[in-house]
Amino acid sequence: MLKIIYTLLMLFVCTSMHASEKMYFDELDLNVNVDDDFFYIHTSGNVWLETSTIHRDKTGAFTYVNSISKRASIENSMQFEKKWKCPYCFRLYPIGTPCSYKDCPSKYK
């Protein structure tokens, strides 16, 4: 019985450790849209990640990896949903999705 309790306790501790994995970012790479419930983190080029929470500790700004938006990939694995920002209307869209703003002169339609 003690072995089962110990195993369950270790499983809980391991799961908790994975759930609290942090991804640090430069605060200058943060985009906050007051009309949206999400924050966007600039990663490289014109690639952005969507997260529902941001935090700060003595090391800097971070988000928890489990709060970053994910989507299923072709290989049936979960990957971060990457977005691009239209340079004209500044709206964010999933990569591969054209700008849908009707008055936007973007060449990415």
Q: Which residue has the higher pLDDT, 1 or 42?
A: 42
Residue 52 has pLDDT above 70, yes or no: yes
* Percent of the chain residues topping a pLDDT of 90: 25
pTM (2 decimals)? 0.69
Tell me if residue 78 falls in helix, strand or coil.
Answer: strand
Assess contact for 21 and 55: CB atoms under 8 A: no
The per-residue pLDDT for 37 is 82
4, 69, 76, 81, 82 from 72: Cα distances, Å: 34, 11, 6, 9, 12
